[in-house]
């Protein structure tokens, strides 16, 4: 039996429990209202007193690699040191005896300067100038582009008024190797030249962001983070061989200095594919230190310079008359060292000689301007013009290199009496190194001119591989004409005055030289100043690689024989690099005279 005394405490317990449950239920209802039912409204209310913030998530610019995957350009992390001028001051540190001592700002500035390569006065001036412009300034660059080692050393100073912005930056492991070709970037990460600029679509990274909201106390408000991931740039593979490029840059540097030339280039092309395996220049530029190079040496002269090709064009004219003029290896012309033609034009050879009964091979061996002019009469001027266009003269190489130039080939209607003959031996027309090697590629490759290329592929961050769209090959001359011209050019290498200088033991070589006059800018030519070229391929009976060497204004030797030592060494190295087998057959010796 329950008494009054036992019922009262139990009733009080039940009432208290009911009150607690009611209060708890109220909290639960309110929590559901805040977190679920009206969550968006409450977040919006909090944003009115929140502080927005974001952080850049940097993507990494893609690598540029050579044909075997060796890095020519890559990315590293650099740091921008930022000072807070308003809060700059002495630092408190613990002394050796355990006491806390103040280190004056000028001493701190000296510690900073010793790491950054500045002077203490320069660091102090950065702060003073910022405060002069704005007494409340809290931002001034100490120095941009600090290395990881510098960053760590500066952090160890323990200055709360010194912070760092991290960002990716470009690095070129081999320095000037391929510098004119690869190009370079600005300190802000903008491509300024070369492959970096022309292939930016492949290499470009897309930065991401991490944005969030912070309350007044600086704490990130849960649920406000928005993450936009970065996308890295693609890997760009070039057709260039890095080791061959390095060797040829050293070689052309030596030849330029030995010959007292302004500059020089060596270009190597794989005959059957049109792939450029080396594009070496001197002077070059180190993309890691662009300011150390003269402005005119920061870009590729291989792709941007135009020049009169001189006697290298005689091989093109010879190919035309063999292909369309009914000529063969036994055809001849009678030519003296000076010839006056029916239209009044006069053509001179570089050396005095009596009237020779020249074969086409003899004309090219002696590099007779008069002889090739007479052969050129056996096809119409329009036919010559059409062939030059098919050879690619005046059309550019379509490689897509930034700033690439085109040669200048005037229509036949604009040829005067003299130009009618001059164009047969490379005067009155300009070309570029890529155009010229493309034309010789047709001669070497069975008459088929392959489009030149310098980009192998672009592999995007997601693994997608993109290959460049190249023009179709052009059949310029017949396979039979190509074979005859290869035979003639091999005889040039064997019988020309520089034959011993270009000989590569064990291999059959084909060559032609050209000495182009340089314009004085007013319709004439500079006296005694030339642009010299030597171009050739090997093996002559089955061409695999084509090499072109140019020198701009050589002074020690002003003729194209100045190029011979560099050509011989370059061709030798190319044949070794790609393990081309020596000849197993003997060449045919052609007669110079009928």
What 3-state DSSP class applies to 516?
strand
- pLDDT tens-digit series, residues 338-369: 999 999 999 999 999 999 999 999 999 999 99
Determine contact, residues 251/428, Cβ cutoff 8 Å: no
Q: What is the pLDDT of residues 271-309, one digit of tens each?
A: 999 999 999 999 999 999 999 999 999 999 999 999 999
In angstroms, the Cα distances linking 32 to 18, 36, 37 are 21, 5, 6
Mean pLDDT of 21-29: 72
User: What backbone phi and psi angles, to 5 degrees, belong to 53?
Assistant: -150, 160
pLDDT at 49: 45
What is the model's pLDDT at position 402? 86
End-to-end CA distance of the chain: 148
- Mean pLDDT, residues 27-51: 60
Cα–Cα nearest to 437, from 469, 467, 396: 396
Q: Do 277 and 240 meet the contact criterion of CB atoms below 8 Å apart?
A: yes
Nearest to 450 by CA among 221, 308, 203, 270: 270
Q: What percent of the chain has pLDDT over 90?
A: 73
pLDDT, one tens digit per residue, over 365-386 is: 999 999 999 999 999 999 999 9
Higher pLDDT pick, 394 / 26: 394
Burial class (CB in 10 A: 0-12, 13-18, 19+), 537: buried
Tens digits of residue pLDDT in 551-578 = 999 999 988 889 999 999 999 999 999 9
Residue 48 has pLDDT above 70, yes or no: no
Question: Please, are residues 120 and 110 in contact by the beta-carbon 8 Å criterion?
Answer: yes
**Average pLDDT in the 55-73 region?**
90
CA distance 563 to 565: 6
pLDDT in tens, 125-136: 999 999 999 998
Identify which of 343, 334, 347, 269 has the alpha carbon closest to the alpha carbon of residue 547: 269
Minimal CA–CA distance to 578: which of 220, 355, 271, 316?
A: 271
- CA separation for the pair 306, 550 (Å, rounded): 12
pLDDT at 240: 97
Asked if the model's pLDDT at residue 474 lies above 60, the reply is: yes
Q: Any idea which of 183-192, 326-335, 470-479 has the lowest mean pLDDT?
A: 183-192
Cα distance between residue 135 and residue 575, in whole Å: 68
Q: Which ranges in 236-368 belong to alpha helices (H)?
A: 242-259, 301-304, 314-324, 360-366
Q: Residue 407 and residue 427: Cα distance in Å, rounded?
A: 12
Q: Are strands 332-335 and 235-238 parallel, antiparallel or unpaired?
A: unpaired
92-106, 277-291, 321-335, 529-543: range with lowest mean pLDDT: 92-106
Cα Rg for the chain, rounded, in angstroms? 37
pLDDT digits (tens, 9 = 90+) for 198-252: 999 999 998 888 776 766 555 567 777 787 888 899 999 999 999 999 999 999 9
Map residue 191 onto helix, strand or coil. Answer: strand
Question: DSSP of 376-387, one letter per residue?
Answer: HTTS-HHHHHHH
Q: What is the pLDDT of residues 196-210, one digit of tens each?
A: 999 999 999 988 887
Q: Nearest CA to 198 among 174, 182, 186, 178?
A: 182
Beta-ladder partners of 517: 530
Q: Count the neighbouring beta carbons within 10 Å of the beta carbon of residue 349.
A: 21
Average pLDDT, the chain: 91
496-542 confidence digits (pLDDT tens): 999 999 999 999 999 999 999 998 877 788 888 999 999 999 999 99
What residues are paired with 346 via a beta bridge? 340
Dihedral, CA of residue 92, residue 93, residue 95 and residue 97, to nearest 10: 90
Q: Would you say 370 and 336 are in contact if contact means Cβ atoms under 8 Å apart?
A: yes
Cα gap 395→182, rounded to integer Å: 23
> Contact, 426 vs 317, CB < 8 A?
no
- Residue 432 tokens read as 């570029």
How far is 124 from 104, CA to CA, in rounded Å? 12
Pairing of strands 100-103, 91-94: antiparallel
CA–CA dist 333, 325 (Å, integer)? 13
Q: Tokens 């239920």 appear where?
A: 25
The pair of structure tokens assigned to 355 is 């009237």
Integer Cα distance of 205 and 199 in angstroms = 12
Interacting residues of 97 by C-beta distance below 8 A, sequence separation 6+: none
Neighbours of 58 (CB within 10 A): 18
Which neighbouring-strand residues pair with 550? 265, 533
pLDDT band at 25 (very low <50, low <70, confident <90, very high): confident
CA-CA distance, 243 to 124, in Å (whole number)?
A: 46
Distance of CA 132 to the CA centre of its chain: 44
CA 315 to each of CA 247, 353, 444, 536, 558: distance values in angstroms, whole numbers, following the listed order = 29, 22, 11, 11, 21
């Amino acid at each position: 039996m329950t008494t009054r005394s036992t019922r009262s405490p139990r009733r009080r317990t039940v009432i208290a429990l009911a009150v607690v449950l009611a209060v708890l239920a109220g909290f639960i209802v309110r929590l559901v209202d805040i977190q679920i039912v009206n969550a968006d409204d409450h977040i919006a209310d909090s944003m009115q007193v929140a502080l927005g913030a974001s952080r850049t998530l940097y993507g990494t610019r893609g690598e540029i690699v050579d044909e075997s995957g060796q890095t020519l350009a890559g990315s590293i992390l650099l740091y921008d040191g930022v000072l807070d001028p308003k809060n700059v001051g002495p630092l408190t540190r613990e002394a050796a005896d355990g006491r806390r001592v103040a280190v004056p700002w000028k001493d701190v500035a000296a510690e900073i300067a010793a790491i950054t390569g500045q002077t203490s006065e320069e660091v102090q001036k950065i702060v003073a100038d910022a405060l002069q412009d704005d007494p409340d300034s809290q931002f001034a660059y100490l120095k941009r582009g600090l290395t990881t080692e510098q960053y760590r050393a500066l952090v160890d100073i323990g200055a709360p008024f010194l912070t760092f912005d991290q960002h990716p930056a470009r690095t070129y492991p081999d320095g000037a190797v391929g510098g004119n070709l690869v190009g370079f970037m600005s300190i802000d990460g903008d491509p300024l030249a070369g492959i970096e600029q022309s292939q930016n679509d492949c290499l470009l990274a897309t930065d991401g962001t991490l944005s969030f909201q912070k309350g007044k106390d600086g704490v990130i408000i849960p649920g406000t983070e928005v993450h936009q991931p970065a996308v890295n740039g693609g890997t760009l593979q070039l057709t260039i061989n890095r080791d061959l490029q390095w060797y040829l840059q050293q070689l052309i540097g030596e030849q330029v200095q030995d010959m007292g030339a302004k500059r020089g280039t060596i270009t190597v092309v794989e005959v059957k594919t049109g792939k450029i395996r080396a594009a070496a220049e001197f002077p070059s530029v180190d993309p890691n230190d662009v300011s150390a190079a003269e402005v005119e040496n920061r870009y590729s002269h291989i792709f941007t310079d135009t020049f009169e090709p001189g006697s290298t064009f005689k091989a093109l004219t010879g190919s035309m008359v063999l292909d369309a003029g009914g000529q063969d290896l036994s055809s001849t012309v009678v030519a003296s060292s000076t010839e006056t033609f029916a239209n009044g034009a006069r053509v001179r050879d570089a050396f005095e000689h009596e009237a020779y009964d020249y074969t086409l091979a003899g004309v090219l061996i002696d590099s007779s301007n008069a002889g090739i002019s007479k052969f050129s009469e056996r096809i119409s001027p329009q036919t010559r013009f059409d062939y030059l266009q098919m050879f690619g003269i005046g059309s550019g190489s379509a490689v897509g290199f930034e700033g690439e130039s085109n040669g200048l080939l005037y229509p036949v209607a604009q040829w005067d009496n003299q130009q009618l003959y001059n164009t047969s031996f490379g005067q009155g027309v300009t070309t570029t190194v890529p155009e010229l090697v493309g034309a010789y590629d047709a001669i070497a490759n069975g008459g088929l001119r392959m489009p030149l290329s310098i980009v192998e592929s672009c592999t995007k961050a997601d693994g997608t591989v993109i290959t460049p769209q190249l023009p179709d090959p052009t059949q310029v001359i017949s396979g039979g004409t190509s074979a005859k011209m290869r035979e003639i050019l091999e005889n040039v290498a064997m019988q020309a005055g520089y034959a011993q200088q270009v000989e590569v033991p064990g291999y059959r070589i084909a060559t032609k030289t050209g000495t182009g006059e340089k314009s004085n800018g007013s319709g004439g030519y500079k006296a005694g100043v030339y642009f010299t070229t030597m171009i050739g391929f090997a093996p002559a009976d089955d061409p695999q690689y084509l090499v072109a060497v140019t020198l701009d204004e050589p002074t020690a030797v002003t003729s194209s024989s100045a190029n011979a030592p560099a050509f011989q060494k370059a061709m030798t190295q190319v044949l070794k690099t790609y393990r081309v087998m020596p000849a197993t057959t003997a060449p045919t010796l052609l007669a110079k005279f009928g």
